[in-house]
Copies of this chain bind each other. A is one copy, B any other.
């Protein structure tokens, strides 16, 4: 039995020396190898310091951290910006807790990140779900259903805010500008989970940043696309934000012993964008386009572009779509065997995150792997990943969390009320929330996930699911 199982497993993975088409954006350290970060890179363990005189205090910055956050704010054009050392997760919690009060009714995307769901539960909000649109052709979620969104906004006058994902995990962008303008008129706050959009706006070939589009608050993972360490993120707030509340929740959802490695890398990635971002992303977009065209010359596989769908898309991300009858999950496994680590897969697609620190050799390796792929090996019954619909809400999510519960085989859960979030991971989008009724279709999909090796949080190793004991009355909703 190994005494250092994690360190050894990571060591083995590092030795595979894969081309990294996944987070973090620094791609195994390549993003830090500029002369500007030499001390930080060569002496990194020495940089892991505590808050001493002259090094400021993240919870109440008055010195170098304050200055650095001001530079961040200036680059993105926010009213104020904050470093986050507990990921976009903490940013989503801070946004939601500081913007809404208990009982507030808010619009959220059915395909939002798990942390948004958890924050809705803890803040005791009433979620109104916006449907997602799906591409039948690519068997993938596209964006929010704009007419459904407008209908809710028109018909429910007590909506306090909306939490929008921009872009989604696939790099697909909703019409955020239009959404913000519609929400402004209805006096509805717009909070944006832009975990995958920290690089937006740095070059004109990229979608515009959520901050520039005028969102009230925006969270961005720094590590997902920029050269920053994993678990780092930015929070940007606009003029209307309640800074005192933000400060309270900021200090609650983040460690009082913040990592200076994280702070240094958050500073570094802002500096990187400022000094090299425009040119590096121009080059990346050009390379991405070039290899996309070559991949699209192959059979069975296609990189989805903005001309294929009705939405703007981040061209520094590949949605590698496989023909019907083949499996995205099996393609991800195949690429890993060939030394290309993708970010995630669904039934029909593999998502690759590109960064300026992916070299030409990474793209060559990807292209060669796809060219040499025996697609016969990737054949599988394809599950329609599309539109689970919005399940029936039997209890408010936070009530379900505190209700009496029991655990049963998920195969026997039809008609029961779900007691926990059920989240296939990645992408970490819950498909059942506490308080929602489990139907036959849900059971089939869970079975499909398990059969295809997708991790499903909320389903334990005995394939049990937590349900509300004794059922419960339907929520009386306006």
Q: Which residues of A contact B (CB under 8 A)?
A: 1-14, 22-24, 26, 28-29, 32, 36-37, 39-41, 43-50, 52-57, 59-60, 62-65, 67-68, 71, 85-90, 93, 101, 113-115, 118-119, 122, 221, 223-224, 229-231, 244-245, 248, 251-264, 267-268, 271, 274-275, 333, 336, 341, 343, 401-402, 405, 420, 425, 428, 455, 457-458, 461, 466
Contacts and interface: CB of A to CB of B under 8 A. Distances in A.
A29 B48 contact: yes
B6 A221 contact: no
Contacts of A59: 425, 457
A258 to B, nearest CB: 6
Contacts of A455: 57, 60, 62
18 contacts: A5-B64, A6-B267, A7-B267, A9-B64, A14-B39, A26-B48, A28-B48, A52-B336, A57-B455, A101-B402, A122-B252, A229-B261, A230-B257, A230-B259, A231-B262, A256-B428, A259-B262, A261-B261
A87 B457 contact: no
Contact of A45 (B23, B29, B101, B115): B29
Contacts of A248: 118, 401, 420
B229 A48 contact: yes
Contacts of A113: 256
B264 A10 contact: yes
A6 B253 contact: no
A254 B52 CA distance: 25
- Counting every copy of the chain, the complex holds 2
Nearest to A224: B257
Nearest to A12: B54
A473 B85 CA distance: 39
Contacts of A244: 405, 420, 466
A7 B90 contact: no
B457 A60 contact: yes
A11 to B, nearest CB: 5
Contact of A64 (B6, B40, B267): B6
Given A14-B46, A86-B86, A425-B57, A71 B255 contact: no
B341 A52 contact: yes
Given A24-B48, A257-B87, A93 B10 contact: no
Contacts of A60: 425, 455, 457-458
